[in-house]
Amino acid sequence: MRKLLFVSCICFFSFYTCDDGDVLDIEFDFDETFQVCGTNDLVFYKTKSDPSESLSIIIANLTLEELLDVDETGVYEADFSLSTTNTFNYITYSNATLPNNLFCNDIPLSEIKIIKDLESTSGNVHIKTVLTEDDNDGIPAALEDVNGNGDLTDDDTDGDGIPNYLDEDDDGDNVLTKNEKPDPNGDGNLSDALDTDGDGIPNYLDDDDDGDGVKTRDEENESQDQNPSNDTSLNGIADYLNIEVATTVPATAYREHTIYKTYLVTLTVSNFDLQIISLDVFDFGVLANSALSTSRKETPNFN
């Protein structure tokens, strides 16, 4: 939960007198995440119960697709001025609990009873989206900087056009990196990565895992389906790990790769005035939305 700090030491507001003489008890204790709904006009909001309160920001003429339209560096960043159409609201309710779809109905919910609606029409809203892509292969992206120059985009062990940090199969042998035990104990130290042939090259970077002179991807003796792991013609050991099997069946394609995408959307409000609450900067939080985690498919050109 987020408990705001105002004037550097006050943890919550209690018993503030409003302009109309009402007394309002404000705790302002919200989760660090927020939700969004809308099509052409977006509403960013967060709600809580006990007491029932909400914070909401309306940004007109903005779509979720625009928020996810990042530039070549994977970033979208924009500022919006609060106004009579772009408003920041703090609302209290007499309801014991609030519905999940409070702000996402075309028709107002009749059971909702508002006690106080404080609105700021001046100030600034800053929205930032950062796209992170990864291969989820069990190796942190920072450890896939093979040449050690700090640039992940030029590390492409198998030369398939997909850098290692996005490549589910770093060595292009058609066995997924995560299945080649790059970090058996999961401690982030790759020094214990599986190296079947003991040549000093871990399996996940070795295109001939058993050292029999036949590339792993060419050891599909039973089913040519871009998956050498299911070809076990002798002793129940996968042929690509069995030095006693050196039959060559030339591969003709790479397997399809999945690249995982995650959008991190954050929002801050600055220099606003909600009559009884004025802050230089308020961290509204991080957008929680399952649609922000997605993936794309890519099959490299075979070489």
Residue 301 lies in a domain: no
Alpha helices in the chain (DSSP H): 64-67
Residue 154 lies in a domain: no
What domain range includes position 57? 30-127+265-292
DSSP states along 4-65: --BTTTB----SEEPTTS-EE----EE-SEEEEE-SSSEEEEEEETTTTEEEEEEETT--HH
Q: Which residue has the tokens 């702000």?
A: 103
Residue 151 lies in a domain: no
Instruction: Give the lowest-confidence range in 61-70, 94-103, 148-157, 176-185.
Output: 94-103
Residue 185, pLDDT score: 95
**Spatial contact of 257 and 133, defined as CB atoms under 8 Å apart:** no
Residue 94 lies in a domain: yes
Amino acid in position 48: K
Residue 223 lies in a domain: no
Residue 57, pLDDT score: 98
235 contacts: CB under 8 Å, gap ≥ 6? 242, 244
Tell me the average pLDDT of the chain: 89
Residue 24 lies in a domain: no
* The pLDDT of residue 27 is above 90: no
Give the pLDDT mean for 236-246. Answer: 97
Distances in Å between the Cα of 97 and the Cα atoms of 25, 28, 190 are 17, 16, 49
Residue 158 lies in a domain: no
pLDDT confidence of 107, banded at 50, 70, 90?
low
Q: Which pLDDT tens digit goes with each residue over 195-209?
A: 999 999 999 999 999
Q: Which pLDDT tens digit goes with each residue over 43-80?
A: 999 999 889 999 999 999 999 999 999 999 999 999 99
* The pLDDT of residue 37 is above 80: yes
Task: Give the Cα separation of 196 and 205 in Å (integer).
Answer: 12
Say whether 185 sits in a helix, a strand or coil: coil
Residue 102 lies in a domain: yes
**Count: domains in the chain:** 1
Task: Give one word for 205, left, alpha or beta, with left for phi > 0 and alpha for psi -120 to 50.
Answer: alpha
Residue 100, pLDDT score: 82
Is the model more confident about 130 or about 277? 130
Residue 10, pLDDT score: 28
Task: Give the Cα separation of 300 and 257 in Å (integer).
Answer: 8
Task: Give the Cα separation of 72 and 109 in Å (integer).
Answer: 42
Instruction: Give the lowest-confidence range in 94-98, 124-128, 164-168, 244-248.
Output: 94-98
Q: Taking the CB of residue 215, how many other CB atoms lie within 10 A of it?
A: 20
* The pLDDT of residue 1 is above 60: no
Give the pLDDT mean for 206-218. Answer: 98
Amino acid in position 250: P
